[in-house]
Amino acid sequence: MSQSTPTREVARRVFATEFNDAGYTFKESDDERAPVYALLPTGASANRVFFVGTLTEKDDVGDDAEYWRARIVDPTGTFFVYAGQYQPEAASTIRDLEAPAYVAVVGKPRTYETDDGTIRVSVRPESITEVDAAVRDRWVVETAERTLERVAAFEDEANEYARMAREQYESDPTTYKASALAALEDLDESDELAGETAGSPAGV
């Protein structure tokens, strides 16, 4: 019985700076319902992504029905999240949230081409949850680790997604290593400042 249950794709942890460069999408079969993957420039496929950041802006950009656009910022850049009638729970969450707020998002990458031919990348959310600073900090650490692992494996000839990334992108994967390390440094500095100004919060 369990074999008939579809498995969900792992949600990749990825920083905004890399995600926004992931404009190439592909399918791994000709099936009409086959999942669509975004190719991360560090050499991994992503049908779903997981990120945590600060909701800084939200706008209802729909014409006839609610269609929410949320701007969510991590230490490296900005994610744009769009939710409407087909993502009712996520749309409701965005509507109710007050910026600024830390949020955790799981969703699917989506690409679209602008009039000038630029490929833009956004997220169609499956879930949006308000979280605290500790969750955000833990995500930064884990995402930096995953990013560094992908960069380290980028030149491995057995890594088919890295081969695809070398063919599709001109970006240097070491730039994402640098942004991951900078995110960790920012985290250390903010922790030091918090410790100097307020001491350790209770329960941490």
CA dihedral 8, 13, 17, 18 (to 10 degrees): -60
Q: Which residues pair with 138 in a beta bridge?
A: none
Give pLDDT tens digits for 60-85.
998 888 999 999 999 999 999 999 99
> Domain 2-193 belongs to what architecture?
Beta Barrel (2.40)
Give the pLDDT of residue 198: 42
Q: What is the pTM of this model?
A: 0.87
Give the pLDDT of residue 194: 53
β pairing state of 68-74 and 44-46: unpaired
Residue 101, φ and ψ in degrees, nearest 5: -155, 140
Backbone CA torsion sign across 63, 68, 73, 79: negative
